Each structure stands twice: as structure tokens, then as C-alpha cells.
Amino acid sequence: MQNHTHDVTVGSKLVRKKYVNLADGEPEREWLCLSLLARHASGVAPHPIRFTHEGDAPVVVMERLPGNPLRNAPASADQIAALGRALRRIYAVPMEAIEVSGLRERKVGPTEIANVLRSALNVPRDLSECDDPQLVKQALDLAQGHLRSPGTVPIPRLTTMGIADLNPANVLWDGKECRLVDFEDGGLTEPAFELADHVEHIATRLADVYSPEPLVESVSLTDHERHRFRQYRILWATFWLIKLLPGNSGSRINPAGTTEMQARHLRNLLSGMLHDQ
């Protein structure tokens, strides 16, 4: 099995992950995450066996976990409850242990995302290829205004570790429990930020894999964390609208009209946040 970042070989007992993209320390991130989880949340992720090299390519060897990946379809109540249990175990890894390990902030983390979005929104765009350029422009303008408004972007917190990429293919379900794989983008984060990323990821959202309220309930966010979750959803929805603009990666792999659908979704989130204030 191969994708743009790694080549995976699955054996009867072991999985061998060879990295072909080293842009952001992916092998080291994965090894540190798996090592921390092996010590503090055993069984929720593969047990790391060894970190080696094949030529210049880093390789992480880990145990093979039971279960099958979730489908690109709405997760059942039992699956959401089990996923919540797995995520809570990850979020409970002590910060002291994370700091000692040297694990860095996750990819596009809480301290980075607002500046990433501001920079991207300042780039002039040719929206003429969109089905509805005016709708898309309106959503982009609203997002830009939102990011400029005081108090709309949460003050970043790094309170735990997280997986970052909760693609359904990374969630293994054995009929009772969920286990998680693929921590190459993982790192320091906070639960509200992680959950917002999970529900707003364009692939999982289009398939309605993770319904926001049941997932938040399963992780037991506080009222304050729920508010931060709603704020972070707007940032991630903006992130995906930018990805879907003409010339960007998302526009090439998604059906016509997806950009407009995302623009409407972002408008709705922004409208909902205004009503909460």
C-alpha cells in the first residue's frame, strides 16, 4: 500500500511503514506518539517495535492491530462511543511525559492555523472557474473579516497530544473497540481543536462520518471547550474552503459544486457563531 507520504507493508503480525516524505519530521512524530501511547495508553494504537532505515528512508515497524477501517459512511452510535473512549485515553497522556519526550506541536496546530489562514486569504484569487464565484467570494470575505475581529480566534492552548488525521481509514473497529493508526501528523494540541479538525475534514464531513454533537459528547468536552470547538470549526471550515479553490489540491479531486457547498457551510457556521454571542 502506498500514498504520497509513506509505503506500508502489512504482515501477519507486524506493519512496516517506510516514509517517502520527510517534510515535517513525520517518522519522528509517529515514533514519539506511538512510544508515548505504548507507555500511557497501551492498546489504543500500535505498539512500536523499532525505528530503522532502509537506505536513506526511515522505517517504523509496529504491531498489527485487529479490526477493519471505518467506512466512508456515518459511524454508528457504538462506533462513536468507542472512538470517544480511545480519544479520551490519548488526551489523558500526562503533559509531563509529552514534554520530556520532545514531541512537537501537531501539523497545522493551534498556534499556527490562524496565521496560515490569514496568509492564504491575503493571496489574490481568480474565482472565475467556480460555479458561483460571488458565493465563494462572499464566504472568503466573511472568513477574512472573522479572522480580523477581536476575540473570534481562541487563544491557542497546547494541553495534550492528538492524532491530527482521523481519516476513517485510520480508525480500526473490531466490533467493540476503536484503535487508531497513522500518527505521522500528530503532536501537541488540545481536544477542542482536534475534534473540530475531525468533523470539518472535507472527506469525513461529506460522508457525515463523525456527527459533531455525538462525537463531542463521547469525549466529554466542558461547556467552555465546546465553545472553543465551535470557534475552531470555523477555522477548519475556512481551511477547507481555501483547499477547494481553483488551482488548489482539493479542487482537482472533488466533484463540481463542492467549493460552493463548502462556502455555504462556512457561512452557516459563521452565522451560528454570531447567534451564540
pLDDT tens sequence across 182-195: 999 999 999 999 99
**DSSP assignments along 214-267, one per residue:** HHHHHHT--HHHHHHHHHHHHHHHHHHHHHTSTTSHHHHHS-TTHHHHHHHHHH
Rounded to two decimals, the pTM is: 0.94
For the segment 214-267, what is each residue's pLDDT rounded down to a tens digit? 999 999 999 999 999 999 999 999 999 999 999 998 888 888 899 999 999 999
Structural contact between residues 186 and 29, judged by C-beta atoms closer than 8 angstroms: yes
pLDDT band per the 50, 70, 90 thresholds, residue 17: very high
According to the model, what pLDDT value does residue 254 have? 85
How many angstroms separate the CA atoms of 270 and 276, rounded? 10
For the chain, give the percent of residues with pLDDT over 70. Answer: 96
Better-predicted residue by pLDDT, 82 or 3: 82
Q: Which residues pair with 61 in a beta bridge?
A: 16, 50
Question: Stretch 29-51: mean pLDDT, rounded?
Answer: 98
For the segment 215-224, what is each residue's pLDDT rounded down to a tens digit? 999 999 999 9
Question: Stretch 57-84: mean pLDDT, rounded?
Answer: 96
All three cell numbers of 56? 536513506
According to the model, what pLDDT value does residue 4 have? 61
